[in-house]
Amino acid sequence: MTTVESCIFCAIVAGDAPAHRVFENDHAMAFLDIRPVSRGHLLVVPREHAMDLNSTHPDAAVDVFRVGHTLARAVRHSDLRADGANLVINDGKAAFQTVFHLHLHVVPRWHRDRLRFATGLVTRRLREPEHVADAVRVGLARLNGESTA
């Protein structure tokens, strides 16, 4: 996994690596993705290194999403004239995370573009919804230090 010393996003935040920055504040920074899925594809990162959601303080995650929300709105009002945006966090290797510094993708979208994040969405069906909901509730209780016995 990535350490602060070897993290490209930490180097970008520090100004030691090049990036096309579009936004920064005390808590987060946004820049163009070097391998864009669509025109205007942005990455939002917390200034402080955190590998994934599990190691990110909730306040830092809120800051990242707040910036992503603003940027998603900005691409609609920009000359890019996006019709919408996907906001995506690939959380961990199993979710295709490749740079292990938490980052939110802001992917501008247009009507009739060919990008397909949601293939099969309409035909998908819940399987064992009560069991799955119970499992998530147990996870929430564990996060809150509650007994699950």
Catalytic positions: 103
Note whether 1 and 51 are within 8 A (CB): yes
Angle at 62 between CA 57 and CA 65, to 5 degrees: 130
- Work out the end-to-end distance of the chain between its first and last CA atoms, rounded to an integer number of angstroms: 34
CA distance 25 to 100: 21
